[in-house]
Amino acid sequence: MALLKKFGFPLLALFLLAGCAAPSNTIDVTPQIRLPQQDPSLMGVTISINGADQRTDQALAKVNRDGQLVTLTPSRDLRFLLQEVLEKQMTARGYMVGPSGAVDLQIIVNKLYADVTQGNVRYSITTQADVSIIATAKNGNKQVKTYRQSSSIQGPFSATNAKITSAVNSALTDVISDMADDTSIHEFIKQNAH
């Protein structure tokens, strides 16, 4: 009995506390990455790529849960995530990525946020994504292209982390698809990479 008191009660308390643990406040940012077609006319053009996050608030969403304002943040640095996406897309087109390229690309996260409102029986999630790519050639020419997506979903009951995560990933996936479809940066590089 003494052994049960010595180990049993602290163990029971530990299990009870574990059961009260709050859900994670991170959003697993894992958008689907679509790659563009390869351009066979590219011959050894090297570009450099870096990322920046210009959002004033690192939160992806703020949700009122049981009278508490819960801030949801991304599972990874969005700057590096989008830099990685752009590298994959440009490599798929046929470019080489290196530290000193003929054209420098900077991908900037201007906005990525899910505005969540919920009442007693319904919720609404409005997601906005805004990403810019700045292409700067060694000859001084520059081009800026901005990709924006917004979407809104509604449903019964409350906006769970899974629903918010899905909305954020959907908006980011749409932006990445737009980047894959758009050829304006690609054309700019081809014209200015010599």
Residue 4 DSSP symbol: I
Per-residue model confidence (pLDDT) at position 14: 52
**118 or 148, higher pLDDT:** 148
User: Which candidate, 134, 79, 136, 126, places its Cα nearest to that of 103?
Assistant: 136
Per-residue model confidence (pLDDT) at position 124: 95
Per-residue model confidence (pLDDT) at position 15: 53
Give residue 16's identity as a one-letter amino acid code.
L
- Look at residue 114 and tell me whether its pLDDT is greater than 90: yes
**Count of C-beta atoms within a 10 Å radius of residue 153:** 16
Spans of all domains in the chain: 42-193
Give tens-digit pLDDT for 125-134.
999 999 999 9
Both ends of the chain: CA-CA distance in Å? 83
Give tens-digit pLDDT for 136-194.
999 999 999 999 999 999 999 889 999 999 999 999 999 999 999 999 999 999 999 87
The answer to whether the beta carbons of residues 132 and 144 sit under 8 Å apart is yes
Give tens-digit pLDDT for 8-59.
555 555 555 444 445 679 999 999 999 999 998 888 899 999 999 999 999 9
Sequence-distant contacts of 35-39: CB under 8 A, at least 24 apart: 35/88, 35/89, 35/92, 35/180, 36/89, 36/92, 36/93, 36/180, 36/181, 36/183, 36/186, 37/92, 37/93, 38/92, 38/93, 38/94, 39/93, 39/94, 39/186, 39/190
The CATH number of domain 42-193, selected from 3.40.190.10, 3.30.160.180, 3.90.400.10, 2.30.180.10: 3.30.160.180
